[in-house]
Amino acid sequence: MRRPIIAGNWKMNNTRTDAKALITALVPLVADAEPEVVVCVPFTAVETVAAAAKGTNIAVGAQNVAWADKGAFTGEISAAMLKDVGAEYVIIGHSERRQYFGETDATVNLRAVQAIKNGLKPIICVGETLDEREDGETERVVSSQVRGAFEGIAEGMLANVVIAYEPVWAIGTGKTATAEQAQETVAYIRKVFASLYGAALAQKTRVQYGGSMNPANAAELMSKPDVDGGLIGGASLRAEEFAKVVNYKGAAI
């Protein structure tokens, strides 16, 4: 059985003071949670949040990682730096990175390799735009992204990898894929992953849904057999709302 994983993506929100207040409020609300709980926070808040979450069941992650160990890469943060301030997870290839900052399948691959080599657990994002879905291109797009992300990465390096299916058309728009749409695409992602690494590893690898999961739809989405968790955006910025997603079995729908 794959343990569910609910990860909050705070995006570019919260100063260190705000971050400490949010994590302090969240800790008691998810203390008995069944899923693994992760918060992926801005670089400036990683150390603060890691300190506040120490000794709890909340893991801390970052939202990006450099593809190099060190060097002349102004503005980048290395995997070793993230480990040094307490990061355990890192989001790689989020659609906003692809859309606004030129992220490609090739750079996602390079960043994933760096994360894995340095003991970070990558949450690798894939997903199609609205135009691609309407043109019937969903499977082609996510297959290409999965294959690109894992190019040249050996099976033995993938024990801690998480994949997040985030339909771009459902991120921050208020639109959400139906539970059936989410299941269909997540199952296809698992099928592509199995074609690369075999069915056994594919059945062990967690695949999240990342398109506007919230307290109202979390239980239905999580009821699908291939949906192993959520990558939560806006709802993760409010402790009580995020906790309802984490505790989805008790959340009202």
Reduced to 3 states (helix: H, G, I; strand: E, B; else coil), residue 145 is helix
Active site residue 34: no
Instruction: Determine the Cα–Cα distance for residues 209 and 200; give it in Å rounded to an integer.
Output: 21
Per the CB < 8 A criterion, the answer to whether 215 and 245 are in contact is: yes
Instruction: Determine the Cα–Cα distance for residues 63 and 193; give it in Å rounded to an integer.
Output: 23
What do you get for the CA distance between the two ends of the chain, in Å? 25
**Which candidate in 47, 94, 103, 128 is catalytic?**
94
Active site residue 166: yes
Residue 182: CB partners within 8 Å, gap ≥ 6? 165, 209, 211, 221, 224, 227
CA angle 105, 108, 109 (to 5 degrees): 90
- Active-site residues, by number, are 94, 166
